[in-house]
Amino acid sequence: MSSYTELESRFRRIGALEEAEGILHWDMSVIMPNGGAGSRAEQLAAMKLTIHELLTDPLLEDLLNDAETQSLDDIWQLANLREMRRRWQHANALDGELVEALSKSSSKCEMIWREARPKNDFAAVSDALSEVLNLVRQKAETKASTLGVSPYEALLDQFEPGTRIVDIDRLFDDLASFLPNFLDDALSRQEAAGEPLKPVGPFDLTAQQKLAAKLMEHVGFDFDHGRLDISLHPFCGGVPDDVRITTRYEEDDFAQSLMGVLHETGHAMYERGLPVEWRLQPVGQARGMALHESQSLLVEMQICRGSEFLTFAAPLMRDAFNGSGAAWAPDNMQRLQARVERGFIRVDADEVTYPAHVILRYRLERALISGEMQISDLPTAWNDGMKELLGIVPETDREGCLQDIHWFDGAFGYFPTYTMGALAAAQIYQAASGADRNIKPAISEGDFGPLMTWLRTNIHGKGSVGTTDEILTEATGLPLGTEAFKSHLKARYLN
C-alpha cells in the first residue's frame, strides 16, 4: 500500500467519525432532552478527541511527507493530499487537552444559551461564554503561530481556507460605502410604492410543514436522504447521504419559516451534490462556508424571493392556507418578500440590510479575539454598532447579542462567510442564468432541474478540488467580488 493510499484509508475513518459527530450535534439540537446534556457533552468531547488523536498520530506526518514525494497525476488526488496537509496542520497546532476542554465548554455554553436567550438573560450565560472565548483565544494564538497568520485569520481559515483579513476588508469596505445610500434609496422607493397587502393568519403549523416539504421537493430535496424537523435555531446538519434540515414555525407568519426552510434546502442541495466518489475524503467536502452560504442564499434570496419563483409558488401558498384575494397574487407576494427594513434579527433580515448585521459581528468578534473587548462589554458594543450601521438600537439582548448560536458554540471566524456567500450567490446566479437561458423559465414553473444540473457541474461537484476563487473563476469568469451583488440589488429594489 502506497503512503497516499494509506492516507486515504486513515482519512476515510476520520471522515466517518466526523459524520457521526454531526448526527450527534443534530440530535442535541432537535430531540435530545435537556437532561442528556451532560452525557452528550462527554460523547462529543470523546469523539473530537478521538478525531484529534487520529490527526496527530506521528505516523501521519511521515505518510504525508512520503506521499508528497510521489508522482500523483490525478488532480483530485493532488488536491486531496493538499487538504490532508491542511487538516493535519490545524490539528497538530493544538493539544488534546485544549480540544477536549473547548468541546466541553462549548457544549455547556450552548445549553445555557438555549435557556438564557428566551429569558433575555445575558448575565446567565456571560461566564460560560467568557470561558469559551478564553479557550478560543488559546486555540487562535496557537494555530496562528503554526499557520503564520494572525489569530483571527487562523480561526477564519477553519471555515474559509486561505482567506485573510485584507480580503474581507476589501469586500466589506466596498459594501459599507455602497449600502447606506442604497438603503435610503430603496426605502424611499418602497415608501412611494405603498404597503403591499399582507395575508392574514393564523397559518396552521401542519399546513406550513406540508407546504415547506412540497417546495423543498421542487428545489430537488430527496426525503429518502434527509429530514425536516423543528429546532430553536434553523440549520442544516447531518451528512451528505442523510441531510437534516430544521426550522421554527410562527402561526402569524408562514413566510418567515418557509424562506428559512428554502435557505437551508440550498445548503442541503450542496451537500447532496458533493462528489460521491470522494465521500469521506477532505477533497470531497465543501470548499468552505462562503460557497456553502452562497448556495443557501442563491436558493432563498436570489431565486425564491424573486418574481419567477413566486409566479409558481404564490398559488401553492394560497391553496395551502385557503387564502383568497389580492394579497395572494404573485406580484404582491414578490413585493412582500422584497421588503426592506432596518431590523434587529439577522436571520430575518432582508438582503439589503443583511451585510450590516454581518459586518457588525465581524468587527465584534475580531475585537473579542484580539482582547480589545471582553464579554462583559458585548451588549453595549453590540447596541452601539447597530446604531452606527443601521440606525436602530435593540431594546433587549434577545434582539441583540443573544440572538445567534455561533459564539456560544465556540464558532468564531464564521460570520464573514455569510456576506461572502451573498456576493458569491449573485455572481453564480448571474453566470448560471446567462449560460443556460432555460433556468429562469423553468423556475417559473417550479422546475429547478436546469439550475441544479449547472450547479452540480460547476459548484457542487467540485468539492474542494480548488480554492473558492478558483472554483468561482472557472464557473463565473471572476474571483469573488461585489459587482454582481450590487447589480442584483439595483435591479430588484430600484427598477
Per-residue model confidence as pLDDT tens for the chain (495 residues): 699 999 999 999 999 999 999 999 999 989 999 999 999 989 998 999 999 999 999 999 999 999 999 988 899 999 999 999 999 999 899 888 998 999 999 999 999 999 999 999 999 999 999 999 999 999 999 999 989 999 999 999 999 999 999 999 999 999 999 999 999 999 999 999 999 999 998 999 999 999 999 999 999 999 999 999 998 878 999 999 999 999 999 999 999 999 999 999 999 999 999 999 999 999 999 999 999 999 999 999 999 999 999 999 999 999 999 999 999 999 999 999 999 999 999 988 999 999 999 999 999 999 999 999 999 999 999 999 999 999 999 999 999 999 999 999 999 999 999 999 999 999 999 999 999 999 999 999 999 999 999 999 999 999 999 999 999 999 999 999 999 999 999 999 998
- Alpha carbon distance 385, 190 (integer Å): 25
- Ranges assigned E (strand) in 361-461: none
Sheet holding 242-247, edge to edge: 226-230, 242-247, 236-239
Measured CA angle at 17 (ends 96, 27), to 5 deg? 100
Looking at residue 95, its pLDDT comes to: 87
Looking at residue 303, its pLDDT comes to: 97
Q: Is residue 101 part of a domain?
A: yes
The one-letter amino acid code at 309 reads F
Phi, psi of 249 (to 5 degrees): -110, 145
User: 160-194 burial, b if ≥16 CB within 10 A, otherwise e?
Assistant: bbebeeebbeebbebbeeebeebbeebbeebeeee
Q: Is residue 151 part of a domain?
A: no
3-state secondary structure of 449: helix
Looking at residue 96, its pLDDT comes to: 83
Q: Is residue 92 part of a domain?
A: yes
Looking at residue 348, its pLDDT comes to: 84
Domain encompassing residue 86: 3-124
Is 56 in contact with 91 (CB distance < 8 Å)? yes
Q: Is residue 93 part of a domain?
A: yes
Q: Is residue 35 part of a domain?
A: yes
- Alpha carbon distance 91, 106 (integer Å): 18
Is 290 in contact with 424 (CB distance < 8 Å)? yes
Residues forming beta bridges with residue 245, ordered by sequence position? 228, 236
Say how many domains are in the chain: 1
Looking at residue 232, its pLDDT comes to: 80
- 474 among known catalytic residues: no
Q: Is residue 364 part of a domain?
A: no
β 236-239/226-230 pair status: unpaired
Looking at residue 154, its pLDDT comes to: 96
For 47, the grid coordinates are 469523539
Looking at residue 479, its pLDDT comes to: 96
- Alpha carbon distance 372, 74 (integer Å): 46
- Classify 309 in phi/psi space as left (phi over 0), alpha (psi -120 to 50) or beta: alpha
Point out the catalytic residue in the list 21, 83, 131, 264. Answer: 264
Looking at residue 123, its pLDDT comes to: 97
Q: pTM of the predicted model, to two decimals? A: 0.91
Q: Is residue 495 part of a domain?
A: no
Q: Is residue 116 part of a domain?
A: yes
Element (H, E) at 355: helix 354-370
Phi, psi of 333 (to 5 degrees): -65, -35
Reference 291, options 464, 413, 443, 174; nearest CA is 464
- Alpha carbon distance 152, 77 (integer Å): 30
Phi, psi of 238 (to 5 degrees): 80, -150
Looking at residue 234, its pLDDT comes to: 86
Peptide bond into 202 cis (omega under 30): yes
Looking at residue 204, its pLDDT comes to: 97
Reference 232, options 386, 347, 395, 108; nearest CA is 347
